[in-house]
């Protein structure tokens, strides 16, 4: 983010109506990404007997994260001294937050709400790695612990004035905070949970590609709030962030479809929108640093590398990351975090708001390395705790019947 909540104390308590109006809109757009965007995107990719379970998991995380954000997460992320590893609980239950407190040019209440939507969508991303076999209760317990132990520290490091912010890390909208954390955790969760029955011998094709397309379209629109909103103002930066976000997504979708056409003979709808999401994830950290040509280059690179990452993880390593969360979001976020150090330089059409390339690249790699290791270790611990307390996987019989009925007592496609 362009401004830390802690800086509010140093800014005159004057809100800007233009900035406030834009962030109100951006907040709604980011929530729109999870419900209904991500829920429809993931729901269409699973088998028909599990579509409601995916929507329930996305929704349950949204409900739980919203309350937990007010209870402690906002304070842990954005309060406390600069340069630290975790915030404090001075603003637990939003103590001290009123209509008069500000964060830059925004009411602090709006900044809180905007940041809450990021805490909602981040754990919802890794749902795609464990669909069709992880218990609903286990997802909620895991996510509550994950938000406290993974999301809050990393968010503080990067956006809350923590030690990586002090080093000069660049991550406008979440290549590290959102996509690297969720992507790495998704891969670890998929490995620890085990494969779905029949994988990889029997494919589990999307039950409704049209639903996938609708969800992806909502994600594309919502992502403008995600990236351009992270400028926390309605100025020139927001305009450039929106433009480069769109260009990266469009390029990645086209390149992915072209690769499918060349390699498989047909460009699939699901493939193209998967490329679209890869382009969005990859431009996310760089959307405050690169120009239009850099965005096009990032989108093309994202499509190529994420395409091969999907095949490597699914077909070579036989890891059942069911909806390719690590290959698309994890690889994309990591890639964009690295590439911004290159394409953000003025020599490559960037905005030039970086340290020299080598120095900036070292900072980016440091942030990624620590985040990846911490996310992996914490995920293993949280999975073991969840397994020991309430269990993490449904029974074979429940998996065969489908989680819509066994976990929720509902059927998305009941016969009339």
Contacts of residue 165, defined as CB under 8 A and 6 or more positions apart, other chains included, come to: 4, 82, 83, 157, 158, 159
How far apart CA 253 and CA 44 sit, in angstroms, is 18
Q: Encode pLDDT of 25-75 as tens digits.
A: 999 999 999 999 999 999 999 999 999 999 999 999 999 999 999 999 999
Provide the mean pLDDT of the chain.
95
CB 181 within 8 A of CB 150: yes
Which string of DSSP letters, residue by residue, matches 268-329? Answer: -HHHHHHHHHHHHHHHTTTTTT--HHHHHHHHHHHHHHHHHHHHIIIIIS----TT-HIIII
Contacts of residue 75, defined as CB under 8 A and 6 or more positions apart, other chains included, come to: 87, 88, 89, 90, 91, 92
Q: Which domains does the chain have, with CATH numbers?
A: 16-407 (1.10.3430.10)
**Res 164: pLDDT:** 97
How far apart CA 313 and CA 324 sit, in angstroms, is 8
Torsion angle defined by CA atoms of residues 45, 49, 51 and 57, in that order, rounded to the nearest 10 degrees: -120
Residue 1 confidence class, pLDDT cut points 50, 70, 90: low
pLDDT at 244 over 70: yes
Torsion angle defined by CA atoms of residues 116, 121, 122 and 128, in that order, rounded to the nearest 10 degrees: 160
Q: Encode pLDDT of 247-295 as tens digits.
A: 999 999 999 999 999 999 999 999 999 999 999 999 999 999 999 999 9
Residue 188 confidence class, pLDDT cut points 50, 70, 90: very high
pLDDT at 10 over 50: no
CB 108 within 8 A of CB 128: no
**Res 202: pLDDT:** 84
How far apart CA 259 and CA 304 sit, in angstroms, is 8
How far apart CA 130 and CA 25 sit, in angstroms, is 32
**Res 201: pLDDT:** 87
**Res 81: pLDDT:** 74
Contacts of residue 37, defined as CB under 8 A and 6 or more positions apart, other chains included, come to: 215, 216, 218, 219, 222
**Res 83: pLDDT:** 85
Residue 8 confidence class, pLDDT cut points 50, 70, 90: very low
**Res 144: pLDDT:** 98
For the chain, give me the number of helices (H) and strands (E)?
18, 2
CB 295 within 8 A of CB 244: yes
How far apart CA 35 and CA 55 sit, in angstroms, is 8
CA 337 to chain CA centroid, nearest Å: 13
The structure tokens listed for 70 are 């007010």
How far apart CA 102 and CA 110 sit, in angstroms, is 9
CB 162 within 8 A of CB 156: yes
The structure tokens listed for 410 are 């509902």
Q: Which residue has the tokens 């915030």?
A: 87
Length of the chain: 416
pLDDT at 4 over 70: no
CB 33 within 8 A of CB 222: yes
Stretch 117-136: mean pLDDT: 98
Percent of the chain with pLDDT over 70: 96
**Res 11: pLDDT:** 44
Contacts of residue 24, defined as CB under 8 A and 6 or more positions apart, other chains included, come to: 110
CA 393 to chain CA centroid, nearest Å: 24
How far apart CA 284 and CA 230 sit, in angstroms, is 10
Q: Encode pLDDT of 332-387 as tens digits.
A: 999 999 999 999 999 999 999 999 999 999 999 999 999 999 999 999 999 999 99
How far apart CA 315 and CA 362 sit, in angstroms, is 33
Stretch 386-409: mean pLDDT: 97
How far apart CA 57 and CA 27 sit, in angstroms, is 21
pLDDT at 12 over 80: no
* 107: β partners: 102
Q: Which residue has the tokens 């104390």?
A: 9
**Res 13: pLDDT:** 59
Contacts of residue 362, defined as CB under 8 A and 6 or more positions apart, other chains included, come to: none
pLDDT at 415 over 70: no
């Amino acid at each position: 983010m362009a401004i830390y909540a802690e800086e509010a104390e140093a800014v005159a308590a004057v809100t800007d109506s233009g900035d406030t109006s834009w962030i109100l809109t951006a907040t709604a757009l980011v929530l729109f990404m999870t419900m209904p965007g991500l829920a429809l995107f993931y729901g269409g990719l699973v088998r028909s007997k599990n579509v409601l379970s995916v929507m329930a998991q996305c929704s349950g995380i949204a409900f739980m994260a919203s309350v937990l954000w007010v209870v402690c997460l906002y304070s842990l992320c954005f309060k406390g001294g600069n340069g630290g590893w975790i915030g404090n609980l001075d603003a637990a239950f939003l103590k001290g937050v009123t209509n008069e407190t500000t964060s830059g040019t925004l009411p602090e209440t709006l900044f809180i709400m905007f940041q809450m939507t990021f805490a909602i969508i981040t754990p919802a991303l890794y749902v795609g790695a464990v669909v069709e076999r992880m218990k609903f209760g286990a997802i909620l317990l895991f996510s509550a612990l994950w938000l406290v132990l993974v999301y809050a520290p990393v968010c503080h490091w990067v956006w809350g004035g923590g030690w990586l912010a002090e080093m000069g890390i660049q991550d406008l909208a979440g290549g590290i905070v959102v996509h690297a954390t969720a992507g790495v955790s998704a891969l670890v969760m998929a490995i620890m949970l085990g494969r779905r029955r029949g994988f990889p011998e029997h494919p589990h094709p999307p039950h409704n590609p049209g639903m996938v397309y609708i969800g992806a379209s909502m994600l594309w629109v919502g992502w403008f709030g995600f990236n351009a909103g992270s400028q926390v103002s309605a100025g020139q930066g927001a305009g450039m962030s929106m433009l480069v976000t769109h260009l990266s997504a469009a390029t990645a979708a086209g390149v992915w479809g072209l690769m499918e056409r060349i390699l498989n003979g047909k460009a699939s709808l699901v493939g193209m929108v998967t490329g679209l999401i890869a382009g969005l994830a990859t431009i996310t950290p760089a959307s405050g640093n690169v120009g239009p040509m850099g965005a096009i280059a990032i989108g093309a690179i994202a499509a190529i590398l994420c395409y091969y990452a999907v095949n490597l993880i699914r077909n070579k390593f036989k890891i059942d990351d069911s909806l390719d969360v690590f290959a698309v979001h994890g690889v994309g976020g990591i890639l964009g975090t690295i590439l911004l150090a290159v394409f953000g330089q003025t020599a490559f059409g960037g905005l030039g708001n970086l340290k020299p390339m080598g120095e900036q690249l070292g900072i980016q790699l440091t942030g990624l390395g620590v985040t990846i290791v911490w996310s992996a270790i914490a995920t293993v611990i949280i999975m073991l705790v969840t397994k020991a307390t309430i269990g993490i996987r449904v029974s074979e019989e429940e998996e065969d019947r489908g989680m819509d009925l066994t976990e929720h007592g509902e059927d998305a496609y009941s016969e009339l």
